[in-house]
Amino acid sequence: MKIKSITLWLLLFTSLATHAAGQPNIVLIYVDDLGYGDLGSYGHPVLRTPNIDSLANDGLRLTNYYAPSALCSPSRAGLLTGRHPYRTGIKSWIPEDSGVYLRDAEITLAEVLREAGYATAHIGKWHLNSDLGSQTEPQPTDQGFDYYYGHNAFQLPNNHNPTNIFRNKTALPMQEGYTADLYADEAIKWLGKRDENSPFFLYLSMAEPHTSFANPPEYNRLYEQFSAGEVVPIPNGLKEPPKEMLIPRGPGEYYANITYMDAQLGRVLDWLRENNLEQNTIVVFSSDNGPVTSNWINWWEVNAYGSTGGYRGRKHYLYEGGLKVPTIIRFPGVVESGSASDATVIGMDLFVTLAKIGGGKVPDDRAIDGIDIQPVFRGDDLPPRSLFWALDSVSELEFAVQKGSWKLLLDRDREPRELYNLSDDPLEFFNLMSKEPGKTRELTDEAIKHLTAIADDPLRPN
């Protein structure tokens, strides 16, 4: 009996060791509206982001990574399914009670990893349905997540003491604190209570720096030289705009919001290290779309001062500033510390890559628009391909296609409007359509191929 017990313990130990070596834990951090230039590690001259910068120092910094969309809901749909957002029927941000949601027919990264044996949790912003309390629209716990705690579109009334937080499918009373610390607390609690015999997938989707924001006073004081006047957070969810509160005060509050978020993410990363999980955990950090710059187009955006790193455009637009975002991958023993890559990567690639790293099965019964980018981890090239974006938003330029260094933007009627050579003109100043009619025709045809494939997708909602 004693020998049998020892044998069983050895088998169990061998099994756990095999799991540890073969299935790393996965932490996917997706922040809200952070611009390409909004981190110290991506060149911001003022913002202090020591924890995210440390992540970059320990990992791989992608310098040519694109979000699936220039808006939150379609970007999240692309990230979690590996499919172009228009294939999923999510063309823009999802308004409350609109009846738009990610369909059951879609297979999420959480479902793939859970099937592979992962414990799964989503903490933070969901925004893939129009009502977190709905009995008919799928919720996070219906789409692969064992546990959920968070909000939907944006925090109410702002980041402080939010009133629209759900746990699983239950609406909670006002949560005392700021969303950044609430979500970090919840992530650490879930990690501490998880089944330690299983690998875990944590999708940590922060509310920051989406407007309207509020910050602890000590963080506002860090940047008080960049703020003019008393800090009065603008509340979301009002029937009428609070016109008397729409006072430009400079970027101080925006900077403070990001630095506070960075501090709370640091607590989660510290917990991984203190609990001896850092070496067997891949951490991916990215943003859902480009920032709200000081070129405000909505009243609730006042006092957001995001940086695109100089690229043209902002959130809502398919120029580089609306799509190109900072992305960092830390994978100890696999990714070289302090490295950088200019390989062209898009958000749908994370679905395929993380699924394969976790030993999950990438669905083969549907079109998947992402690819496995693990060659980039070794410094190798990715195969040539074209990238395609579509967005029903404020701009009449609804479609964009990129192939190599060439990028074409098309209007809602699918007519080509602007052509750029990004290798010579990364800031998209010089429209070359009249000088490059052949390249314009080539990329127009490429865009039509993408649109036709989306229209013919049998899973696309009508």
- HSE, CB side, 13 Å, CA atoms: give it for residue 342: 4
- Give Dmax (Cα) for the chain: 84
Residues 400 and 269 in one domain: no
266-304 pLDDT per residue, tens: 999 999 999 999 999 999 999 999 999 999 999 999 999
In a domain, 179, yes or no: yes
Residue 163, class by beta-carbon neighbours within 10 Å (0-12 exposed, 13-18 middle, 19+ buried)?
Answer: middle
Main-chain dihedrals φ then ψ at residue 201, nearest 5 degrees: -120, 115
Amino acid at position 32, single letter? D
Count the domains in the chain.
2
Please report which confidence band the pLDDT of residue 146 belongs to, taking 50, 70 and 90 as the band edges. Answer: very high
Angle at 168 between CA 167 and CA 172, to 5 degrees: 30
Residues 288 and 436 in one domain: no
Do residues 226 and 375 share a domain? yes
**Do 304 and 296 form a contact (C-beta atoms < 8 A)?**
yes
Domain contains 389: no
| Co-location of 318 and 410 in the same domain | no
Q: Which of 352, 383, 414 is the last residue of a domain?
A: 383
Q: Going by C-beta distance under 8 Å and a sequence separation of 6 or more, which residues neighbour residue 345?
A: 62, 64, 65, 66, 327, 373, 376, 382
Q: What is the pLDDT of residues 150-198, one digit of tens each?
A: 999 999 999 999 999 999 999 999 999 999 999 999 999 999 999 999 9
Contact 128/142 with Cβ under 8 angstroms? Answer: no
Q: Report the CATH number that the domain containing residue 439 is assigned in CATH.
A: 3.30.1120.10
Is 7 among the domain residues?
A: no
Give pLDDT tens digits for 92-114.
999 999 999 999 999 999 999 99
Residue 92 lies in a domain: yes
Residues 164 and 297 in one domain: yes
Q: Give kind and range of the element (H or E) at residue 449.
A: helix 437-455
| pLDDT confidence of residue 183 | 98
Tell me which residue range forms the domain holding 428.
396-455
Same domain, 140 and 167: yes
The length of the chain, given as a count of residues:
462
Contact 169, 184 (CB under 8 A): no
* 82 and 226 both lie in a single domain: yes
Residue 6 has pLDDT above 60, yes or no: no
138 in the same domain as 45: yes
- The answer to the question of residue 6 being in a domain is no
pLDDT band at 462 (very low <50, low <70, confident <90, very high): confident
242, 295: one domain: yes
Among 383, 410, 444, identify where a domain stops: 383
CATH of the domain at 362: 3.40.720.10
Task: Establish if 248 belongs to a structural domain.
Answer: yes
Report the SS3 class of residue 254: helix
Shared domain check, 154 and 73: yes
11 domain-assigned: no
pLDDT in tens, 411-459: 999 999 999 999 999 999 999 999 999 999 999 999 999 999 999 999 9
C-alpha closest to that of 123 among 211, 9, 236, 206: 206
> Do 284 and 80 touch, CB atoms closer than 8 A?
no
Phi/psi of residue 357, nearest 5 degrees: -60, -40
C-alpha 344 chain-centroid distance: 17
Question: Using 50, 70 and 90 to split pLDDT, how confident is the model at 11?
Answer: very low
Domain ends where: 322, 355, 383? 383
Residues 286 and 428 in one domain: no
SS3 content of the chain, % helix, strand, coil (to 5): 30, 15, 50
Asked if residue 15 is part of any domain, the answer here is no
State whether 116 and 159 are in the same domain: yes
